[in-house]
Structure 1
Amino acid sequence: MSAMTDARETLNRLWKPGCDFLGSEVAILGGAMSWVSERNLVSAISNAGGFGVIACGAMTPERLEEEIVATQALTKRPFGVNLITMHPELERLVDVCVAHKVSHVVLAGGVPTSAIIKRVRDGGARAIGFAPALALGKRLVKLGIEALIIEGSEAGGHVGPVSLTVLAQEILPHIKDVPVFVAGGLGRGDAIVSYLEQGASGAQLGTIFAASEESIAHENFKKAFLRANARDAVTSVQLDEQFPVIPVRGLANAGSRGFLKHQAETIRTFQSGGVSKEDAQLSIEHFWAGALRRAVIEGDVENGSVMAGQSVGMVKEVRPVSEIIATLVEQAVEAIAKREDRVHASA
C-alpha cells in the first residue's frame, strides 16, 4: 500500500466520528453565514461530500420552510439548519425543521434550553450547539446536545474573545462523549489534521466557501475577499462600555470607519443630554441594520458589512465548492504522509 493510501486511511479514521454523526463523506461543515448559506451553497457543499448548513438568521418560519424545500430539491444528501436561540419564533422554526425531516439542527447565538434541545431530538433531528468555554460545553452535553462546535475568535461574523488554538487545548482533551467540531481561521487541510489529532471530529469552514463559485454573494463581495489580507479582517470596536457593541469580524472599510464616528457622535449627544441612554444604544445597534445584505447581495462592499474570518488572506481565487473540498482533503492527506515520513526518518 502506498504512503498516500495509508495517509488517506488515517484521515478517514481520524474524522470517522464526525462523518458518522453528520452522515457525510468528509467531516467538513459549511459555516452558517446569513444571506450566503442558502440553497445553492448548502446543496453544493453536501453534494461535494461535506455538510452544508442553512443560515436561518432572522427568517420567518414560512421563509425557512421555503429554503429547506428548495435545498432538498438540489441535494439528496444530509444538511443542517442553523437557528438563532434568541429568535422569537424558535419553537416554530424547530417544528419546520422537524416537519421537513432536516437531519441536524445547529442551535447558535446563546445557550439553548433543555426544552428546545428535547424538541429537536424528539422530532428526530440531531442537536448541535456552540461551546465557547469548557464549562458551557459540559453543561450543553448534560442538557442533551449531541455534538459541539468550538469556534475561535479568528472566525468571521459574530465571534467570542478566545482563539481556536486556546479553545482546542481547553476543551478537546476533556469532552469525549460527543463529537467536537473546530471552527475559526481554518483555510487549509493540514490545519484541520492538527485539530483532528488533538481529538476533534471534524471542522467547520465559512470564509473559504463564501468566495466559492456556488456562493450567491455579489462579485464585489468575492473580489473584496481575494484582495484582503488576514489583518484586514477586524472585529468591530466598542468606544464606551456603557454602550456595548457585539464583536463582529469583517473587512475594514468605510462602513466600519463610519461606525466609529457614529458611536462617538451618539455618545457625545447622550453626554450633552440630547438623547436618552436607551435611544443612544438603539441608534448604535441599528447602524448596521441591513448592512450585511448591502454587501452580500447588492455588492456595496464599502458601506456594507463584509463579514470575513482571518483565513480570508488564504482565499486567492473563486473556485467551485467541490474543488475547495478536494483540495482540503488533499492537503490533509499530504500532511499526514509527510508527518509519517518525518517520524520514520528520525526513528
Structure 2
Amino acid sequence: MSTYPKTQALMARGRDFLGSDHAIMCGAMSWVSERNLVAAISNGGGFGVIACGAMTPELLDAEITGTKALTDRPFGVNLITMHPDLGDLIAICVKHEVGHVVLAGGVPPRCSVEAIKQSGAKVVVFAPTLALAKKLLRSGADALVIEGMEAGGHIGPVSTSVLAQEFLPALAKEHLVFVAGGIGRGEAIAGYLEMGAAGVQLGTRFACASESIAHDRFKQAFFRANARDAVASVQVDARLPVIPVRALKNKGTEEFTAKQREVAGVLDREEIAMAEAQLQIEHYWAGALRRAVIDGDTENGSLMAGQSVGMVKEEEPAAQIIARLMEESETALTRR
C-alpha cells in the first residue's frame, strides 16, 4: 500500500468508497466480466464488477456465489436498467449483500435506486450530461462514472477528456466521480486523479488478462489491433434508438447494419413497439458478443473494444496489470 503514496493519496476517497486497495474499477464486459476475472481483479487490489447483462436472476445468483468462492475482497454487480427482471436482479444482489450495484444502460428508475440503498449497498450510475449527473446524484446515487466515446461497447458522443473537463470541476469536490474511456496507461490515470477524479474504470485493458475466459482467438484479435481498428457502429434509422457500439471492425459490424434495417422494417409494419425493437437490438449484441468471446468467432461475432486496444499486447495476470498501472501513475506523479 505504501509503494504508491502519491497515487494512493489521490485515490483515497475512491478507495474508501470501493473498499479496495486501489480505486481502479473494471468495466463490466458481458461474457468477460464473470467470476474468474472479477475475482482476480479484486484479489489484485482493484475492484471487479460482474456484468449481469442479459442474465436471468438464477444465473446471477450462481455467478455471485461463484465469485464469492474465489475472493473475499469487495466486488460489484452491473445491472442493465432496461432488463425486464431488474427488480428480481436487485433482490438477488440484496440477498447476497453485494456492496455496490452499478446501474447502466439508461436512467435508472427511482424505485430501483431506493431498493438498492435500503439494503445498505452503494449505487453507481453513468451520466452523459452534467445536468443529468446532478439529477441522479440528488436522487440518491452515491457515485458517478463518466465514460467517453473512446470506450468499448456502448458509447456516447463525447470524448473522455472533454467530459473530465466539464464534470470534474463542477462535481469532484463534493461527489465521487470515476473516469472511464480510452484509459490504457497509468499516466492517464494520474492526470484524471489530479483533476479531481476519485478513481478510474478500465475495461479493454483487462479483457485479455490471463484470468479472462475469453477465447484465445478473441484475445489474439486484440493483440493485433490498433486504435483505428476500434470503430463505432452507425445508426441507419433515426427512429430506432440505437446506442452506438465500439468494436473491432469485422463482418459482424456489417451484419449489425443489416440487423438495424431488419428491425426498422418490422417497426414500419407496426408489428412491434419501440421498446421491443430496442430490446431486439440489445439481444443481438449479447449474442454477437458471445460468439466472439466464448466461441472464438472473430469474423462474425462482436469484438467490443475501446480505442486503448492498441496498448493491449499480451496476456498478463490481472494483478500484474493493476500493479503496472499504479507504477506508471506513481512515476508520472513523482516526475511532476
Per the normalisation by structure 2, the TM-score is: 0.93
1:182 aligns with 2:179: yes
1:104 pairs, out of 100, 105, 108, with 100
Q: 1:261 to 1:104 in 2, by over 3 A?
A: closer
1:118-137 superposed matches below 5 A = 118-137=114-133
- Is the 2:30–2:286 Cα contact (8 Å) retained in structure 1? no
Distance 1:313 1:280 in 2: 40
Q: CA deviation at 1:208?
A: 0.8
- Is the 2:156–2:243 Cα contact (8 Å) retained in structure 1? no
Q: CA deviation at 1:244?
A: 4.4
Gaps of 5+ in 2: none
Per the normalisation by structure 1, the TM-score is: 0.90
- The residue number in structure 1 matching 2:84 is 88
Amino acid at match of 1:73: A
1:22 aligns with 2:18: yes
SS at match of 1:318: coil
Q: 1:288 to 1:22 in 2, by over 3 A?
A: closer
1:197 aligns with 2:190: no
May I ask how many residue pairs the two structures share in their alignment? 330
- The residue number in structure 2 matching 1:342 is none
Q: CA deviation at 1:242?
A: 3.8
RMSD: 2.2
Gaps of 5+ in 1: 340-347
- The residue number in structure 1 matching 2:293 is 296
Q: Of the two, which has the highest radius of gyration?
A: 1
- The residue number in structure 2 matching 1:114 is 110
1:228 aligns with 2:225: yes
1:1-347 superposed matches below 5 A = 8-175=4-171, 176-261=173-258, 276=269, 282=277, 285=281, 288=285, 290-339=287-336
SS at match of 2:170: coil
- Is the 2:76–2:99 Cα contact (8 Å) retained in structure 1? yes
Amino acid at match of 1:307: M
- Is the 2:152–2:245 Cα contact (8 Å) retained in structure 1? yes
Q: 1:161 to 1:278 in 2, by over 3 A?
A: farther
- Is the 2:31–2:293 Cα contact (8 Å) retained in structure 1? yes
- The residue number in structure 2 matching 1:344 is none
Q: 1:192 to 1:279 in 2, by over 3 A?
A: same
Q: CA deviation at 1:264?
A: 6.1
Q: 1:225 to 1:277 in 2, by over 3 A?
A: farther
